[in-house]
């Protein structure tokens, strides 16, 4: 009788879970990332396999506490009441940059163990997750139906594969954490590789900062845009995007913290909860019995459930507060780094201007010194020429009326013989006024 009751209770629990939002949390993995998989209410209806949304978080959610990946992104949006009719795979990086191979291994495992429409796999991420998104798209382009990369970049240098995927890149010009030039480089690389707006859309938003784009995860339009795409068609086309700037202010409209009730099931490494995909009614194992106990207790003592809910709500609020404080710290740190960078750049500009002015002054001084030297040399040359002329003029004497060889020699302190020798004269030579005679050698 007890065994029958346990089987019935297990069947009842499984039926409830089949129509409830469930989050499988895989923790303690050694060879890959820890991760969460969200199952929507209609997951157990195997007749229609569901799309898969892969969320790659930013640096602030890295670590070993898997619950951090619920602080923002699709899982957070679900907690606020946003409806996402898809499986959501949310891995957690321990702190390293996202590795496409490890992400792809997780997707392979998810496809093997859950009902996934393999023609409708989407990747979305921001910041470090934006890098991870573009790195994954550029490495496994045929697997992705569409992708959104926000305020990121890429570590890849080959952009030729990215151009073949419906891709939406978004970055704000006021991003102090990740420079907008990173996305500029990606867009330019895709265009240079032969890409076009037929598949790639780049929104470069003026006056939008880093944190503001996180609101994209809470917009219903974001998921509607993703779900319009499929990799089934040979001729892939990017569907028309929406006006991000106009919709961001209304991202939380109609949403309320805690309004999305999601049951979380924690799973040890290497295990997976039974689902309808393989086993309609799970066997009653010791783990199943432990799972049944809270349900049975809740049915017999419903007055305890509000206390549990209040504790969970308090924990969730504490997590949100911690996330907000972390985001504020990151923003303050980003602003401090930006100010330091701006001050450094200003100092470098001032130093460059000072060096330029000093070089100009030195060049001017050198030019003035050269001109002065040239002027002095010219003056000295003229003086020398004048002295030379005077010296030359002093060597000659112009004969005047009444002059004789003897008087001319006496006037110039030479002998008559010297005068005659310098001018080839004799004692009988006649001199006349106006004649020039050399009086010095």
* Closest-CA residue to 52 (of 93, 113, 96, 102): 113
Check residue 377 and give its pLDDT: 92
What is the DSSP code string of 328-339? HHHHHHHHHHHH
Check residue 296 and give its pLDDT: 31
Q: What CA–CA distances, in Å, run from 387 to 382, 384, 393, 396? A: 8, 5, 10, 15
Structure-token pair, residue 316: 């969730």
CATH number of 2-300: 3.40.50.1820
Check residue 132 and give its pLDDT: 97
Query: Burial of 105 by CB count in 10 Å (0-12 exposed, 13-18 middle, 19+ buried)?
Result: middle
* Closest-CA residue to 87 (of 147, 148, 42, 26): 42
Check residue 239 and give its pLDDT: 95
* Closest-CA residue to 162 (of 149, 150, 175, 179): 149
* DSSP class of 230: -
The whole model's pTM is what?
Answer: 0.60
Q: What CA–CA distances, in Å, run from 246 to 51, 52, 212, 243? A: 27, 27, 12, 5
The answer to whether the beta carbons of residues 81 and 259 sit under 8 Å apart is: yes
Mean pLDDT of the chain: 84
Check residue 212 and give its pLDDT: 95
Distance CA 56, CA 104 (A): 12
Q: What CA–CA distances, in Å, run from 298 to 151, 214, 262, 303? A: 45, 37, 17, 8
In the predicted model, residues of the chain with pLDDT beneath 50 are 1-18, 276-310
DSSP-based three-state secondary structure for 221: helix
Residue 145: how many CA atoms within 13 Å on its side-chain side? 22
The answer to whether the beta carbons of residues 231 and 119 sit under 8 Å apart is: yes
Strands 22-26 and 34-39: antiparallel
Structure-token pair, residue 337: 């780094």
Check residue 276 and give its pLDDT: 40
Domain ranges of the chain: 2-300, 310-394, 395-438
Distance CA 86, CA 227 (A): 9
Strands 263-267 and 200-205: unpaired
Check residue 269 and give its pLDDT: 59
* Closest-CA residue to 230 (of 354, 142, 126, 330): 142
Distance CA 156, CA 147 (A): 16
Q: Name the CATH superfamily, with its identifier, for domain 395-438.
A: LysM domain (3.10.350.10)
């Amino acid at each position: 009788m007890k065994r029958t009751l346990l089987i019935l209770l297990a069947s009842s629990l499984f039926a409830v879970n089949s129509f409830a939002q469930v989050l499988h949390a895989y923790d303690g993995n050694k060879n890959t990332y820890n991760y969460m998989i969200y199952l929507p209410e209609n997951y157990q209806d195997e007749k229609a396999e569901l799309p898969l949304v892969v969320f790659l978080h930013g640096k602030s959610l890295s670590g070993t506490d898997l619950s951090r990946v619920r602080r923002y992104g699709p899982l957070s949006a679900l907690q606020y009441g946003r409806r996402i009719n898809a499986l959501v795979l949310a891995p957690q990086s321990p702190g390293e940059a996202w590795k496409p191979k490890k992400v792809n291994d997780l997707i392979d495992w998810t496809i093997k163990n859950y009902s996934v429409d393999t023609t409708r796999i989407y990747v979305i991420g921001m910041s470090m997750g934006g890098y991870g998104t573009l790195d994954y798209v550029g490495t496994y382009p045929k697997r992705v139906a569409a992708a959104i990369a926000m305020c990121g970049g890429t570590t890849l240098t080959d952009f030729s594969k990215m151009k073949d995927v419906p891709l939406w890149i978004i970055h704000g010009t006021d991003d102090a954490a990740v420079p907008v030039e990173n996305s500029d480089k990606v867009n330019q690389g895709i265009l240079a590789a032969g890409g076009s707006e037929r598949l790639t859309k780049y929104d470069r938003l003026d006056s939008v900062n880093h944190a503001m784009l996180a609101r994209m995860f809470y917009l219903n339009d974001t998921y509607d845009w993703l779900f319009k795409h499929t990799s089934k068609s040979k001729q892939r086309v990017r569907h028309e995007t929406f006006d991000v700037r106009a919709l961001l202010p209304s991202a939380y409209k109609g949403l309320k913290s805690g309004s999305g009730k999601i049951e979380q099931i924690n799973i040890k490494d290497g295990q997976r909860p039974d689902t309808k995909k393989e086993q309609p009614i799970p066997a009653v194992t010791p783990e199943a019995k432990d799972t049944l106990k809270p349900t049975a207790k809740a049915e017999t003592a419903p007055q305890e459930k509000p206390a549990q809910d209040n504790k969970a709500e308090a924990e969730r609020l504490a997590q949100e507060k911690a996330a907000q404080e972390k985001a504020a710290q990151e923003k303050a740190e980003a602003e401090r780094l930006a100010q330091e960078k701006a001050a450094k750049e200003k100092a470098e500009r001032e130093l460059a201007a000072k060096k330029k002015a000093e070089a100009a002054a030195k060049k001017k001084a050198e030019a003035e010194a050269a001109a002065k030297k040239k002027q002095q040399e010219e003056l000295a040359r003229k003086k020398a020429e004048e002295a030379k002329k005077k010296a030359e003029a002093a060597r000659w004497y112009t004969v005047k009326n009444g002059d004789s060889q003897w008087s001319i020699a006496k006037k110039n302190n030479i002998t008559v013989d010297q005068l005659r020798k310098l001018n080839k004269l004799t004692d009988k030579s006649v001199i006349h006024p106006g004649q020039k005679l050399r009086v010095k050698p």
